[in-house]
Amino acid sequence: MEKKLKSIYKFELIILLLVIILFFIQDDIYKYLLSIIGFGILLFVSTLVYKKKKDTNFFRGSASRIVFAIIVFYFLAIYLLGLLLGFNKTLFSTIPSKWLQGLIPITIITIITEKLRFILIKNNVTEKKGIYGITILMMLFNILLVTNFVRLTEPYLIFVLICTIVMPTIAQELLSTHMVINYGFIPTIEYKLIMNLYIYILPIFPNLGDYIYSAINIVIPFTIYIVLKKYIKPDEDIRKEKQKLTGLNLSFITIPVIIFLTIIIILVSGISRYKMIAIASNSMVPIYERGDAIIYEKLDVKDIEEGDIIVFEKNKILVAHRVIKIKDDLTKRYFYTKGDANNTADNSIVSEEEVQGAVRRVVKYIGYPTVWINELFRR
C-alpha cells in the first residue's frame, strides 16, 4: 500500500474515533467544540501531509450559480405552499439565544469539514474505497451532530429520525462528495450552509410536516445533481476519466429515494410492527382530520390505557378513536371509545380481538390520495 494511501486511512480512522466519541456526547455545545477542535486539527495536519490543494475548478462558478438558483426556487416554492399550510416559528424567533450558539459553530464546522473532504478526496481521487469511506464517515458525523440518541425512548421516534434526519443527510453527503470531485468545495459549502442555517436566520418556516419536509430534502440534492450533470459538461476526456476513477454515478444518489419509498411501502403494507393508514372522516378533529395519515403500533392490548387512541376494526373498516373506558372480565378486555369531535360515545364496544394497535404518529395531508381513490372506487 502506498504511503499516501496509508495516510488516507489514518485520517479516516481518526474521523471514525471522533464519530464514536460524539455518539456518547449529548450536550450540543460540547459536540460543536469537539467537532471544531478535532476537524480543525485534522485539516491543519492534512495541509502538511499533502501538497496544498487550491480549489481552481473551472466549473465551480457555474456550479455555484446553479446550486443557488435551485435553492432559491426551493424556498420560493415551499413558502408559497406555506400560504396554504401555514407557518411555524424557527429558532430565530422562538429561542434567540440559540441564534449565535448554532449559527457560528455550524458555519465553522461546515467550512472545516468540506475543506478537509476536498483535500482528502483530491489526494485520493484514484481510490474508490477511500472516497466511499470519507463519504460514509461524513454521513455518520453529520447525523450524530444533530441527533440525541439518549432521548429516543420510543421505537416510532427511531422511524421519525430515519425519515427526517438520516435519509436527508445521506442524500446531502452523497451530493457533497459528487460536487467536491467535479466542481470543487465552494458550491458544496454554499449548498450546505444555506440548507443547514436557515433555521437560525429565517423567523418562520412553512408547516409542511416532518415527512413531507424530509422527502423534499431528499429530492433537492437529487435535483441539484441532475441539473449540474445536464448543464455543466466538462470535456469528454475529463468526464470519462472522472467517471472511471470515482464511479460515483446516478445510482448512488437514487439510493436514499429508493430506501425512503421502501419505508413507506413497508408502513402501508403493515408487514412491520408499524402500519400507516389514511383518515377518511373528521371524527377526531383537531388531533387529526380527513386526509391525514396515522402510524399505529401493533401491541398487546394489556398495554393500552384510558386516553390512548386505538385503531380497531368494525365491519371490515378500520376506525381510530380514543379510549374513554376499559372493562375487564375473566377472559377478555373491552374498550369503550369515542371520537374527540363526536358528541356521544361509539355505539358498539370494542373487543380485544378487534384492536389493531395504538396511534403513535400523525402525518398531515398525505392520506388524501388514498381517500380520493377509495371514494372513486365506491362510486
pTM of the model: 0.63
pLDDT at 237: 44
> Is residue 214 located within the same domain as residue 344?
no
Spatial distance between the Cα atoms of 198 and 172, rounded to a whole number of angstroms:
15
Co-location of 171 and 235 in the same domain: yes
Answer yes or no: do 24 and 52 share one domain.
yes
At 28-40, the pLDDT tens digits run 888 889 999 999 9
Most confident range, picked from 122-131, 142-151, 212-221, 364-373: 212-221
CB 12 within 8 A of CB 28: no
**Which pLDDT score is estimated for 326?**
92
pLDDT in tens, 60-96: 888 888 898 888 888 888 887 777 667 777 766 566 6
Residue 193's H or E segment, with its range, is helix 186-201
Which pLDDT does position 307 carry in this prediction? 92
- CA-nearest of 211, 319, 220 to 264 is 211
- Indicate whether 252 and 304 sit together in one domain: no
Q: Residue 288 is part of a domain; what is its CATH number?
A: 2.10.109.10
Q: Which of 44-53, 306-315, 364-373 has the highest mean pLDDT?
A: 306-315
What's the whole-number average pLDDT of the chain? 80
Lowest mean pLDDT among 150-159, 180-189, 299-308, 369-378: 150-159
Domain count, the chain: 2
365-369 mean pLDDT: 74
**pLDDT band for position 1 (cuts 50, 70, 90):** very low
Residue 151 pLDDT level (bands cut at 50, 70, 90) = low
Structural domain ending residue among the three candidates 205, 236, 269 = 269
What are 18's three cell numbers? 471522533
Residue 374, pLDDT score: 62
| 335 pLDDT higher than 90 | yes
Percent above pLDDT 90 for the chain: 25
Q: 360 near 351, Cβ under 8 Å?
A: no
User: How far is 359 from 318, CA to CA, in rounded Å?
Assistant: 12
User: Where in the sequence is the domain holding 342, given as residue range(s)?
Assistant: 274-378
Query: Does residue 13 sit in the same domain as residue 50?
Result: yes
Could you give the count of Cα atoms lying within 13 Å of 140 in the half-sphere of its Cβ? 16
Asked if residue 252 has pLDDT above 60, the reply is no
What DSSP letter does each residue of 87-153 carry, written as one string? Answer: EEE-HHHH-THHHHHHHHHHHHHHHHHHHHHHHHHHTSTT-HHHHHHHHHHHHHHHHHHT--GGG--
Do 147 and 282 have their domain in common?
no
Residue 264, pLDDT above cutoff 80? no
Pairwise pLDDT comparison (91 vs 13), residue with the higher score: 13
221: nearest Cα among 178, 262, 186: 178
Q: What pLDDT, on a 0 to 100 scale, did the predictor assign at position 202?
A: 78
What is the distance, to the nearest Å, from the Cα of residue 245 to the centroid of all Cα atoms in its chain?
29
CA–CA distance, 268 with 369 (Å, rounded to integer): 13
Q: Maximum Cα–Cα distance for the chain, whole Å?
A: 79
C-alpha to C-alpha distances, 208 to 60, 80, 98, 104, 246, nearest whole angstrom? 32, 11, 23, 27, 36
Are 224 and 354 contained in the same domain?
Answer: no
Average pLDDT over residues 102-113: 89
Other beta carbons within 10 angstroms of residue 38's beta carbon come to 20
pLDDT exceeds 60 at position 379 = no
Spatial distance between the Cα atoms of 282 and 78, rounded to a whole number of angstroms: 26
Which of 242, 269, 296 represents a domain boundary (last residue)?
269
pLDDT in tens, 188-240: 999 999 888 887 777 778 877 766 777 788 888 988 998 888 888 654 444 45
Amino acid letter, 78:
I
Domain finish residue from 269, 301, 327? 269
> Grid coordinates representing 270?
403493515
Q: Distance of CA 215 to CAs 76, 222, 312, Å?
A: 17, 11, 30
215 and 325 within one domain:
no
Q: How confident is the model at residue 5 (pLDDT cuts 50, 70, 90)?
A: very low
Predicted confidence band of residue 269 (pLDDT cuts 50, 70, 90) = low
- Within this chain, do residues 228 and 367 fall inside the same structural domain, yes or no? no
Q: Which helix (H) or strand (E) holds 230?
A: helix 210-231
Torsion angle in degrees (nearest 10) through CA of 259, 263, 269, 274: 160
Phi-psi region of 335 (alpha: psi -120 to 50; beta: other; left: phi over 0): beta
Confidence band for 184, pLDDT divided at 50, 70 and 90: confident
| 91 vs 108: which has the higher pLDDT | 108
C-alpha cell at 210: 416532518
Q: How remote is the C-alpha of 364 from its chain's centroid?
A: 17
More confident call, 146 vs 148: 146
End-to-end CA gap in the chain: 69
Give the separation between CA 217 and CA 33, rounded to whole angstroms.
27
Residues 250 and 283 in one domain: no
Greater confidence (375 vs 109) lies with 109
pLDDT value at residue 244? 46
Q: Do residues 207 and 233 share a domain? A: yes
Residue 98: per-residue pLDDT: 64
Residue 53 has what DSSP assignment? P
Distance, CA of 87 to CA of 208 (rounded, Å)? 8
Phi, psi at residue 32, to the nearest 5°?
Answer: -60, -45
Rounded distance, CA 246 to CA 30, Å?
Answer: 35
* The pLDDT of residue 2: 46
Judge if 89 and 213 occupy the same domain: yes
Residue 271 pLDDT: 59
| Rounded-to-integer distance, Cα 190 and Cα 11, Å | 25
Classify the phi-psi angles of 211: left when phi > 0, otherwise alpha if psi is within -120 to 50, otherwise beta.
alpha
Residue 371 DSSP SS3 = helix
